Amino acid sequence: MFALIAGIYSSTIPPPLVFLFLGLDNSGKTSALESLKVLHKAPGPSIPLNLIRPTMGVNNATFAINGRSLTVYDPAGRIEGRRMWGGYYKESHGILFVVEGLSEASTGARLEESQLVFSTVSASVPNKPIAIFVNCPDLERRSEIGKLVTEYFRVSFYEGRVKVFLGDVISGYEGKKEGAGEAIDWLVKMEALGMFNDGDDDRPK
């Protein structure tokens, strides 16, 4: 009887959504994750911004947004770490791609490398939503850098599958839904609407 009730109960609870945080090393993936844990009151401690170190391997966290449970994987962004990214594509419902929007990092080789990595990721997951979070603490230059990334990453080419969000991670730590917070809400909404669902049967529904 207990097994029957437990079975009925578990069949009414949707499995967690899975989101993958990608982007170059030092772009702010782990900071974004930790700020989202604060914003959404995730169980357990969150790491303060000044104690976050480069990721070796993969971080993960599970928390809820509007009652829907979600799991985030946050792998290392270094070149060696990028090799493991592909192992998470299939089970992911969407991707949050972080671009470092510091003035000096948003031009030249770093932006070029970020765009190249982004285009490889978007080609590898052709039917899943990708939120680009431009992590730009410089409020005055934020919209200019956001426009630059939008054009350079050819966001309009993706016809709604890719969307840019501007902000920094401090706002999440302060409980404000801006940048990464809005990006993750958009990913949840895209999944709820069944947008860009590639019908991958192995992925949790």
d(CA 176, CA 193): 25
Judged by CB under 5 A, the residue of 17, 19, 22, 30 near Mg ion is: 30
d(CA 173, CA 129): 25
Nearer to Mg ion, 30 or 114 (CB): 30
Among residues 177, 154, 173, 152, the alpha carbon closest in space to that of 165 is found at: 177
Residue 195 near residue 163 (C-beta atoms within 8 A): no
Nearer to ligand GTP, 1 or 53 (CB): 53
Q: Does the annotation flag 163 for ligand binding?
A: no
d(CA 38, CA 36): 5
Query: What's the token pair of residue 109?
Result: 């080789």
Residue 199 beta carbon to ligand GTP: minimum distance, rounded to whole angstroms: 31
d(CA 75, CA 23): 9
Task: Tell me the CA end-to-end span of the chain in Å, nearest whole number.
Answer: 26
Residue 71 beta carbon to ligand GTP: minimum distance, rounded to whole angstroms: 17
Chain position carrying tokens 């990608």: 22
Name 173's bridge partners: none
Instruction: Kindly identify the residues of this chain, within the stretch 37-76, that bind Mg ion according to CB under 5 A.
Output: 55
Q: Does the annotation flag 28 for ligand binding?
A: yes
Q: Does the annotation flag 29 for ligand binding?
A: yes
Nearer to ligand GTP, 76 or 191 (CB): 76
Nearer to Mg ion, 45 or 67 (CB): 45
Nearer to Mg ion, 29 or 93 (CB): 29
Residue 127 beta carbon to ligand GTP: minimum distance, rounded to whole angstroms: 25
By beta carbon distance, the residue nearest ligand GTP is 77
**How far is C-alpha 154 from the chain's CA centre?**
19
Query: What's the token pair of residue 17?
Result: 């959504």
Residues near 8 by beta carbon (within 8 Å), at least 6 away in sequence? none
Residue 100 beta carbon to ligand GTP: minimum distance, rounded to whole angstroms: 8
Q: For binding to ligand GTP (CB under 6 A), which residues are involved?
A: 23, 25-31, 49, 52, 54-55, 76-78, 98, 135, 137, 168-170
> Of these partners, Mg ion, ligand GTP, none, which one is at the site of residue 26 (CB under 5 to 8 Å by kind)?
ligand GTP
Binding site: what residues are annotated?
Answer: 23-30, 55, 77, 135-138
List binding-site positions for Mg(2+). 30, 55
Annotated binding site for GTP: 23-30, 77, 135-138
